Amino acid sequence: MIISFLLLASLTIIGTAAAMSLKNLVHCVLALTLGLVGLAGLYLQLGAQFVGFTQILVYVGAVAILAAFAIMMTRSADPTLSNATATFRTSGAVVAVVVFAVLAWAIYYGTAHQPIFTAQPEGSVGQVGLALMHHFVLPLEVIGLLLTAALIGAGILAMDEHRGNQ
């Protein structure tokens, strides 16, 4: 349990840290895919199978591919172009480190005396499906509507204006 958590956590940390620090943007997206796979493994280890599969399907399958296409279509993949980090990179890094320090302090002292329920909960795909169809059916419809509107809007935004008017 501990060993698998450490393996998946290091995979996630290495992948995401590389995604945010590499110079070539295509390498960044590949490293991001690695980190998201590690995160999906963590969800599966926590017993949330449906969320783990959704993570692989949505993030690894769709969002990473979409980002790779956007990078290739905007010619950002050439590392000789301005892909270096910004001028205020030290201040940004300092802000991130301070945020992590405050969060870690709060987590460490906040969860020290919490009771821990270690019984493995039942979160199978079938139960999630039943809950989506019974108790959460209205939010499901709303998110379907939101996704439809967002994807139609994204298509219209990305359409070439000059070719679209002809």
Site for other proteins in 46-65 (CB under 8 A): 46-48, 50-51, 54-55, 58-59, 62-63
Binding flags for other proteins, 9-28, as an x/- string (CB under 8 A)? x--xx--xx-xx----x--x
Report CA-CA distances (Å) from 81 to 18, 23, 25, 30, 84: 19, 10, 11, 19, 8
Which residues in 101-130 contact other proteins (CB under 8 A)? 103-104, 107-108, 111-112, 114-119, 121-123, 127-128
Longest dimension (CA), the chain: 67
The rounded distance, in Å, linking the Cα atoms of 90 and 94 is 6
In angstroms, give the least distance from the CB of 35 to other proteins. 8
Record the tokens describing residue 140, joined without a space: 């499901």
CB of 166 to other proteins, least distance (A): 16
Instruction: Decide whether 71 or 165 has the Cβ nearer to other proteins.
Output: 71
Q: Are 33 and 15 in contact (CB under 8 A)?
A: yes
